[in-house]
Amino acid sequence: MTDLPKLFQPLTLRGVTTRNRIVISPMCQYTAHDGHLEDWHLVHLGRFATGGAGIVFTEATAVQKSGRITHGCPGLWTDSQIAGHARVTQFALRNGAIPAIQLGHAGRKSGMQRPWFGNGPLNEADFARGDMPWSPVGPSAIPVADGWPEPHALTLDDIAELKADYAAAAQRALAAGYKIAEIHGAHGYLIHSFLSPLSNQRSDIYGGDLAGRMRLALEVVETVRAVWPDELPLFFRTSAVDGDAAGWQLDDTVVLARELKARGVDVVDCSSGGISGPATGGGRRQPGFQVPYAARVGKDTGMTTMAVGLITHAEQAEAILAEGHADLVAIAREALVDPAWPLHAADTLGYDTTFKTWPDQYGWWLAGRLATSDFYQPKN
Ligand SMILES: Cc1cc2nc3c(=O)[nH]c(=O)nc-3n(C[C@H](O)[C@H](O)[C@H](O)COP(=O)(O)O)c2cc1C
């Protein structure tokens, strides 16, 4: 037995070792300009690096311009976008965090509203702001829901181009300094829409049975793995269930995970939902509601898994790992509340109650205050 909390045990994935098991989950900021990251992104992501996370994910980043979720989403479809990402990766690495990127294509949901303008299809008010629509694409000409635009069903040539663009974006991500790439296969975006029978009603090799619907996901993975160095890990985010009896099921996710593993995916990141509405919508949720998905995938496939979704407390995160339900925990909204969530979790779990793992710029002073003041007392 070790006294070291599981949350603070390093994890080695291929040639990359994280300082702990805490991942900041990808979070769209809808603040990029023409697909380029801004100062906002550096500060937003930089705070998570100085806040002690092991891995910091840059938000869903489009491999094609038309694959952006909104006009404010970043991309890596052209070389001029590399520099903005490089600032983020260099800062993260200098501060002990592993920079990771989520590569995606929004598919049927491309060109939608920023959440705070409605989180639905673009409307007149968005056009007036200059956010003009473009034609979304998908597996079949089936809209996300009533009122959403009908997507153009990708042709075989479109799919070949898409895969080449994934590879090119992955190479740009590498040039930018990312050490982990994740394929976004969740939340109703393009790859998920090919997986789900609710949205994929193709009759060619990219549709039909499970193998046909998985084909795009697996080919994208093969294409990216071919250019992503052997020593760097590849993650895949899945919507483990659609939440619809006629949709994608957890058993399908287990089959997919085995195929991903065979193609060099190292971590399955288990989210859920989003096929028929906004990615972040849904009803009331329980703490850790998606943890059972990671647990099942890990148990059945032996793969490294990441749990995400309403993980907010240090003890909760520690229990998920200690009970063997997942190997990594991802934090999203709670990191917006507290960008130094990992440092505070270290205090709560007794791993660091004296600021020794804080950045020197802060830790030296805080440790000094602790030693000399009756005013501040550590929690443990
Ligand atoms: C502001 C915001 C933006 C998000 N953007 C993404 C994204 O780019 N890619 C993704 O896979 N999930 C995205 N998500 C989902 C989160 O990564 C995470 O899975 C979800 O919020 C549940 O975790 P939480 O309960 O810790 O917030 C986003 C969530 C938030 C709050």
Beta bridge partners of 18: 11
361 alpha carbon to ligand 1 midpoint, in Å? 30
351 CB contacts (<8 Å, ≥6 apart)? 4, 5, 7, 8, 345, 357
What residue type is 366 in one-letter code? Answer: L
CA-nearest residue, atom 11 of ligand 1: 26
Atom index in ligand 1 nearest the CA of residue 290 equals 22
330 alpha carbon to ligand 1 midpoint, in Å? 9
Q: For residues 236 and 269, is the Cβ–Cβ distance under 8 A?
A: yes
The pocket around ligand 1, CB under 6 angstroms, is made up of 25-28, 59-60, 102, 184, 186-187, 237, 271, 280, 308-311, 331-334
CA distance 358 to 363: 5
All domains of the chain, ordered by start, with CATH?
6-349 (3.20.20.70)
270 alpha carbon to ligand 1 midpoint, in Å? 12
165 alpha carbon to ligand 1 midpoint, in Å? 24
- Strand 16-18 with 98-104, pairing: unpaired
Beta bridge partners of 105: none
Atom index in ligand 1 nearest the CA of residue 331 equals 26
349 CB contacts (<8 Å, ≥6 apart)? 5, 7, 8, 314, 315, 318
CA-nearest residue, atom 18 of ligand 1: 332
CA-nearest residue, atom 28 of ligand 1: 27
Q: For residues 325 and 308, is the Cβ–Cβ distance under 8 A?
A: no
CA-nearest residue, atom 2 of ligand 1: 27
Atom index in ligand 1 nearest the CA of residue 115 equals 1
Residue position matching structure tokens 């009603």 = 201
Pocket test of ligand 1: the residue of 271, 280, 308, 341 to mutate, having most ligand atoms within 8 Å of its CB, is 280
| pLDDT (0 to 100) of residue 279 | 67
| pLDDT (0 to 100) of residue 1 | 43
| pLDDT (0 to 100) of residue 373 | 80
CA-nearest residue, atom 12 of ligand 1: 26
Which one, of 297, 162, 166, 157, lies nearest residue 225 by Cα? Answer: 166
What one-character DSSP code corresponds to residue 150?
A: P
Mean pLDDT of successive 10-residue segments in the chain (380 residues)? 86 98 98 98 98 98 98 98 98 98 98 94 94 96 95 98 98 99 98 98 98 98 98 98 96 98 98 83 81 98 98 98 98 98 98 97 95 68
| Global pTM value | 0.97
What residue type is 363 in one-letter code? Answer: G
Q: For residues 51 and 343, is the Cβ–Cβ distance under 8 A?
A: yes
